[in-house]
Amino acid sequence: MPSGARPELIESPEFFAGGFSWMDALTEAMRAVRLTSALFFNGEFSAPWRFATPAQDKVAPVVSPDSERLVLFHLVIDGVATARTDGHDDVALEAGDIVVFPQGDAHEMWNGRTSKLFPGARLLPQLAKGELAAEKWGGTGAVTKIICGYLGCERHAEGSFLSGLPPIFKINVRSSPAGAWIESAIRHCVSEIDPQRAGRMAVLAKLAETLFVETLCCYIDELPAERTGWLATARDPKIGQALALLHRDPARAWTLPDLARESGTSRTVLVDRFVQLMGESPLAYLARWRLQLAARRLTTTDRKVLQVAYDVGYESEAAFSRAFRREFGVPPARYRRERKAQSVRAV
């Protein structure tokens, strides 16, 4: 089963028809990105209450130091709440809603009127140890139960499955059988008498990632037909197949006729629809994606520059270096040195 695939989709014949489903592009894109995830806070708040979460650059060093991007999310298990990030309308939440902040922006959540903020700093020792923090706080009113988590990833996810997401959005996970099952599993895990016991945090981490994938799937399902961008492209019956093929085998010497044939469409339709949805041609997108993959290999492996060039589909180091410099402003070897130096300084 592909990572993150939903059970009800696996059972449908369309999932296997032609070897692809609309989820394949998402699956392949996520496979190419190093992901970390966790559920880190189990909160029970009695109205009135309010808590604030700082931006990702403040949160990441504590909960996921190796992540370049941090997606923050909160799942409302019981009760109601309101969420807000600067510059956007308030979002009303009820039980089963997950509110997501794809850019990791600072935000607030509350129920009732109070100027007193939950003292989140007292969670830092547990968060730094990778534990699930649990707190009860607030007044004497209605209770809201919230589970908070994150998905950490590399920066180049901005060019694929994080592309085009609004700074804040909500999905009710109970609207799908898979989402309801994931929520039930999370509730069970966090209600354990000893949630820190061996293996429990690993299970919660997998559930956090699965919850995020399911949320993206529901978001894609609800996209208006006129929407453009990466997720809209992944959903398109034919162009989504082309996108999945490029992600599955980026080093292949793709031509437009080959890509069109294996996507089951014409070259004209492929190019026109891809440009309409993505704003660039399939081969232009592939060129950018190859360079993003190369940048990752340069910083995560010791492979020589020439080997990295071959890995992502270039036939010569010179051609690869020219393309890499156009994209990142520096040649590959210097990029590797500078990124490693930055990592050392961060430690």
**What per-residue confidence (pLDDT) applies to 202?**
87
Torsion of CA 227, 36, 157, 233, to 10 degrees: -30
**What per-residue confidence (pLDDT) applies to 14?**
34
Tens digit of each residue's pLDDT (9 = 90 or more) over 77-97: 999 999 999 999 999 999 999
Tokens of 84: 């807000």
Residue 229 to residue 233: CA distance in whole angstroms: 6
Tokens of 299: 């910083």
Return mean pLDDT, the chain: 88
What residue ranges of the chain have pLDDT lower than 50? 1-20
**What per-residue confidence (pLDDT) applies to 7?**
37
**What per-residue confidence (pLDDT) applies to 26?**
87
**What per-residue confidence (pLDDT) applies to 193?**
55
Residue 340 to residue 325: CA distance in whole angstroms: 18
**What per-residue confidence (pLDDT) applies to 197?**
64
**What per-residue confidence (pLDDT) applies to 332?**
97
**What per-residue confidence (pLDDT) applies to 8?**
38
142, 210 contact by CB (below 8 A): no
Domains of the chain: 7-221 (2.60.120.10), 236-347 (1.10.10.60)
**What per-residue confidence (pLDDT) applies to 347?**
53
CA distances from 26 to 68, 76, 263 (A): 19, 25, 16
Phi, psi at residue 320, to the nearest 5°?
-65, -45
